[in-house]
Amino acid sequence: MNNLPTNKKVILFDGVCNFCSDSVLKVIKYDTKNKFLFTSLQSDTGKEITQYLGVDTSKVDSIILYEPNVSYDIKSNAALKIMNSFGGVWKLTQAFWVLPEGFRNLVYDFIAKNRYKWFGKKEACMTPSKEIQEKFL
């Protein structure tokens, strides 16, 4: 995994999930410090990263926040760390850290389990526009 920039954090997401793709576009909008890069779990790069990390995507089919050569987070921890990086009013989401991780992940898993039913699913991964292409691995 030496080919990843070490000054960026990589967000791995479900590329066929409408909710996930919309969330990626929101992260891009609020990532004013240009901290994040993206790749779908289904992509070759996504598979390479999850294999390197030892993450079984059949059990963890959710967001993964990977900081190359440092650490990675999944589920609610990843989401909260991403939102914290935006600053401003997004700092309020940090109040959720007081809740036990198990509880936060139960809520996260409930949403994740129903995401296709509630928000729909694409036939293929989203294709980024030219304006945001450089944000994707």
**Per the domain annotation, does 4 fall within a domain?**
no
**Per the domain annotation, does 100 fall within a domain?**
yes
Q: Which residues contact 100 (CB under 8 A, 6 or more apart)?
A: none
The pLDDT of residue 9: 96
**Per the domain annotation, does 2 fall within a domain?**
no
Distance between CA 13 and CA 2 in Å, rounded? 21
The pLDDT of residue 122: 81
Cβ 74 vs Cβ 55: under 8 Å: yes
**Per the domain annotation, does 62 fall within a domain?**
yes
Averages of pLDDT over runs of 10 residues in the chain (137 residues) are: 83 89 92 94 93 87 90 95 92 95 94 90 77 87
**Per the domain annotation, does 75 fall within a domain?**
yes
The pLDDT of residue 132: 87
**Per the domain annotation, does 24 fall within a domain?**
yes
Residue keyed to tokens 């109040």: 95
**Per the domain annotation, does 3 fall within a domain?**
no
Please give the residue range of the domain that contains residue 69.
Answer: 9-135
**Per the domain annotation, does 1 fall within a domain?**
no
- Largest Cα–Cα distance in the chain? 40
* Among 48, 50, 45, CA closest to 62: 50
Q: Which residues contact 129 (CB under 8 A, 6 or more apart)?
A: none
* Among 6, 50, 26, CA closest to 132: 26
Cβ 101 vs Cβ 77: under 8 Å: yes
Let me know the angle formed at the C-alpha of 131 by 127 and 132, rounded to the nearest 5 degrees. Answer: 55
Structurally, the chain folds into a number of domains equal to 1
